[in-house]
Amino acid sequence: MMRNIKIVAFDADDTLWPNEDLFREAEEHFCRLMQPYTDKDKAKEALFSTEINNLPLYGYGIKAFMLSMIETALKLSGGKMDSAVTEQIISTGRAMLNQPVKLLPGALPVFKTLSAKYKLVVATKGDLLDQERKLNKSGLTRYLHHIEIMSEKNIRGYKTLMRRLGVMPQEFLMVGNSLKSDIMPVVKLGARAVWIPYSLTWQHENLATDKLSNGFIKMDKIADLLKIL
């Protein structure tokens, strides 16, 4: 199955380093700020709705999340939100952007080993500056052949990436934590995929089980890649 692979592409957030944890913590803080106006469940629901509506304009990442928090807070407060709340939301976002990058166990040894045999790529969504910052802090860039910050990880996006890299689908392996973004589009193109679930998944990335196929391998940790490559 893997004998023709030339490119091994990795998702970044929650595949190479933790990320969703930061958003969950920020979401909890946001809900506490909204307590004077609504309960926790309604605050979460309103924030998620705003995020999804804003995706075509802002895309993914912490900055988009900050703007959505501010917009949601204004809606929930009826425009009466204190400026101190805005300051706290901005402060929360800044703290997220300044978080150190801690690789998940096994990521660095995998990159060191596989870079001797394959061209390694990071294919991820998110804010360009923030993703570049995290990659530079990760220490993994020395092993990379290419970095692709994608506006959306869908069939069209992966087709463009493979064309840019000059590989056929059967020569391409994608590794990631999201079935919706990292696995299913690649499988539909006839490429290979390895799914490594993370402990937390953003609601938008959830995929109904009836949409799953058998065209990918599920692993518990990134180090298991060395068993098949």
How do the pLDDT tens digits run along the chain, 229 residues long? 788 999 999 999 999 999 999 999 999 999 999 999 999 999 999 999 999 999 999 989 999 999 999 999 999 999 888 899 999 999 999 999 999 999 999 999 999 999 999 999 999 998 889 999 999 999 999 999 999 999 889 999 999 999 999 999 999 999 999 999 999 999 999 999 999 999 777 676 666 554 555 679 999 999 999 999 9
In the chain the first and final C-alpha atoms are separated, in Å, by: 10
Measured on CA atoms in the order 181, 187, 190, 196, is the torsion positive or negative? positive
d(CA 76, CA 44): 11
Residues 89, 134, single domain; the answer is: no
Residues 78, 132, single domain; the answer is: no
d(CA 138, CA 17): 8
Q: Coil, strand or helix: which one is 6?
A: coil
Quick check: 26 and 44 in contact, CB under 8 A? no
* DSSP secondary structure string for all residues of 33-100: HTTTTS-HHHHHHHHHHHHHHHHHHH-SSHHHHHHHHHHHHHHHTTT---HHHHHHHHHHHHHHHTPP
| C-alpha 145, offset from chain centre | 20
Position 201 scores a pLDDT of 75
42 is a domain residue: yes
What is the torsion angle, in degrees rounded to the nearest 10, for the CA atoms of residue 151, residue 152, residue 153 and residue 158? -70
Domain count, the chain: 2
Residues 67, 48, single domain; the answer is: yes
d(CA 158, CA 11): 12
Residues 74, 175, single domain; the answer is: no
- What residues contact residue 43 under an 8 Å CB cut-off, 6+ apart? 30, 31, 34, 37, 72, 76
Position 113 scores a pLDDT of 97
Residues 212, 197, single domain; the answer is: yes
Position 202 scores a pLDDT of 66
Residues 124, 222, single domain; the answer is: yes
Residues 74, 159, single domain; the answer is: no
1 is a domain residue: no
Position 207 scores a pLDDT of 62
d(CA 229, CA 225): 6
Helix axes 20-33, 83-97, angle to 10 degrees: 170
Position 204 scores a pLDDT of 63
State phi, psi for 161 to the nearest 5 degrees: -65, -45
- Residue 174 backbone class (left: φ over 0; alpha: ψ -120 to 50; beta: rest): beta
Q: Domain range holding 127? A: 7-17+102-227
Residues 66, 111, single domain; the answer is: no
Residues 120, 220, single domain; the answer is: yes
- Kindly report the pTM of this predicted structure: 0.90
